[in-house]
Amino acid sequence: MSSPAITVTTETPLSEVAHIFVQQGVSRVPVVDGESRLIGLVSRSELVKAALRKASVKGKEAR
């Protein structure tokens, strides 16, 4: 594990999370709240699923 730990918040854009995965070579990142308390993890597969959902919604709106 790196020190200090690489973390994201619920407000971190998906594009930034993807950048962290690629640049840091990690497959999961802890999600923390405003007081740096752990509230969950985000994985590469969850990121892909979220991006696909977002693309699907945008495609339906364009119709």
Tens of pLDDT along the chain (63 residues) come to 567 889 999 999 989 999 999 999 999 999 999 999 999 999 999 999 988 988 888 777 766
State the pLDDT at residue 13.
Answer: 93
State whether residue 51 is helix, strand or coil: helix
Q: Are the beta carbons of 29 and 6 closer than 8 angstroms?
A: yes
| Burial of residue 35 (number of CB atoms within 10 Å: 0-12, 13-18, 19+) | exposed
Domain coordinates of the chain in residue numbers?
Answer: 14-58
State the pLDDT at residue 8.
Answer: 97
State the pLDDT at residue 15.
Answer: 92
